[in-house]
Structure 1
C-alpha cells in the first residue's frame, strides 16, 4: 500500500513531526507492505525541525526526516530526489 507521508507521521500545528500512527503496523499485520510518498529535500516540504533556513528552495535535512519515517517500519519511500533518499536508506544499514 502507498500512503501520503502525513498519514504515517502527521505534522503538528507548529509544522513539526508528530507521533507516528499505527498505519504501518496495521498494514504489516494485514500482510501488506507499506510505502510513503513524497519526500523532498527542499525546506518548503520538510518539517520545521529539519529545515536548514527560512529559504523555501534551500535543501534541508531529508535524511533526518527519512530516519523518522523509516523507524515506523516502512518498506520503502518515494522521493523527488531518489539519489538522496537511497543514500539515507543505505546509511541506516
Structure 2
C-alpha cells in the first residue's frame, strides 16, 4: 500500500496520534505497516500475543509471500497500547 495522506487518514482511527505524526510527512511506495518495502505480503497471520501490561500488548505477525517462484515468510512485531478505552497500534517493528 502506497502511503499517502489519504491512506493514512483512513487508518488513523487504528493508530496512536504519535504514530500518525511520525508517518505524516512520508510519501513512499513502501508498505510502512508491514515490511517497509514495496514488496507487499500476500497474506498474514497472528502468531503470538504477549501481554506486557494492562495497557500494552505486543503481537507477533507472520507475513507470507507465495508464488510459483517464491515461498517466503517473515515476522514483524506490532506494539499496541490502550488509550481512551481503545487498543491502538503504537509501533511496528520489522
- TM-score, normalised via structure 1 length: 0.24
Per residue, is there more strand in 1 or in 2? 2
Per residue, is there more helix in 1 or in 2? 1
